[in-house]
Amino acid sequence: MCKKRIVVLGGGESGFGSAVLAKVKGFDVFLSDFGKISERYKNKLVEWDIEFEENGHTEEKILNSHEIIKSPGIPDTAAIVRSAKSKGIPVISEIEFAGRYSQAKTICITGSNGKTTTTTLIYNILTNAGYNVGLAGNIGISYAYQVATADKDWYVIELSSFQLDGMYDYRVDIAVLLNITPDHLDRYDYDMKNYIASKFRILRNQTLEDALIYCYDDKFISESITKYETQAKLLPFSVKNRSVSGILSNGNIIIRVCNKEFIINRENIKLAGLHNVYNVMASGLAASIAGVDSGVIIDTVYTFNGVEHRLEKVGEKNGVLYINDSKATNVDSVWYALEGMDRPVIWIAGGTDKGNDYEPLAELAKNKVKTLICMGVDNTKLLKYFDGLIPEIISTDSICNAVITASSLAKSGDVVLLSPACASFDLFKNYEDRGNQFKEQVNKL
């Protein structure tokens, strides 16, 4: 009897982990990457005796598979994916595949913004509570690799819409839906309804034993949630409505779960901004549902400093503060960043546009930004929109030039804010690479 053949598309963290899990479970495994695989992952694939190719897809080796696991960065429109689907080959995500082989409980977080902060905070809370927990999804070690090598009792998983698109039978125990704002519309035919539907896939297969934590104040969520049937227990959070599970009252965050409540004092939270109030509410509710004692939740929240590349203070020189917000890859993230600035702003933005509408930023940009430094291969859209709104706009083509220009223009009391509103793939490997290069250039000052 022939082994079932699994093909993995993509040779990064997700793809490597999926290939290892398939190998451990006894499948005939082949990994294919249209681009170059990093030496780190190539060495690991050799170590695990997994056949692979790079710099192109060999159709004969891919389209004879029983199932394909697609890395989230590969769009459904990719030629090899279309060919596979035309032949009736199932194409799934790493999350779908790994979930088949683990009995662990899961807390899964999605949303357009705040995913990494919320996921990391929940993971820290469960870790401090002594749980055997893994961090996975868009951050941490591959979910599939952890299941293959050292399965956990719990996983806290950050899910992008791309990962959700490849989930069919996967069931989330505790789902967190933070917000939905226009993002990645280039992957969804520039149709917001398609993007919303992708986010709501997190509800699939939930039962009466499960929970859905969601933002009551989010327009797209509140308008859409009644359209999706779910048996899960609903726990909304809000800064406007006081009859929900997580509320803001007199400067305090109040978490209510199972007829119990506890208070988190906003003044004691190190995370700044209203968006982080929402993130803390979601984290507190998720950890409570998971059975963590309120004292552990409160202590962890008070000591949590945030995540790298999200409003990260890099340093101050000559009275000018430099902030790395490279993770702000959409308009909504930049809105929160600008909204929280209390100094005159020199704003560095730009990259690969994902169908952005910059109108929500107009008022903040007009009132807070003294200079916009565009950084990208094509800055046309930014230059055109903010012309007349911001006193000075300068176009550059590298992070080095952007930082040097910003430092030459900045005066004591200003803030230089890297908050791109765009994807990073025109000049960088990813948003981490962009943020790290920004910090490197700032440190050279």
Q: What is the pLDDT of residues 192-203, one digit of tens each?
A: 889 999 999 999
pTM for the model stands at 0.81
390 SS3 class: strand
Residue 224 pLDDT > 80, yes or no?
Answer: yes
Beta-sheet strand order (sheet of 5-9): 51-53, 28-32, 5-9, 67-70, 91-92
296 SS3 class: helix
Work out the burial of residue 412: count CB atoms within 10 Å of its CB; fewer than 13 is exposed, 13-18 middle, 19 or more buried. Answer: exposed
Query: According to the model, what pLDDT value does residue 70 have?
Result: 96
Place 154 in a pLDDT band, splitting at 50, 70 and 90: very high
Place 2 in a pLDDT band, splitting at 50, 70 and 90: low
Contact 339, 314 (CB under 8 A): no
CA torsion sign for 146, 147, 153, 155 is positive
State the helix-helix crossing angle for 39-47 and 13-24, rounded to 10 degrees.
Answer: 0
Query: According to the model, what pLDDT value does residue 25 have?
Result: 97
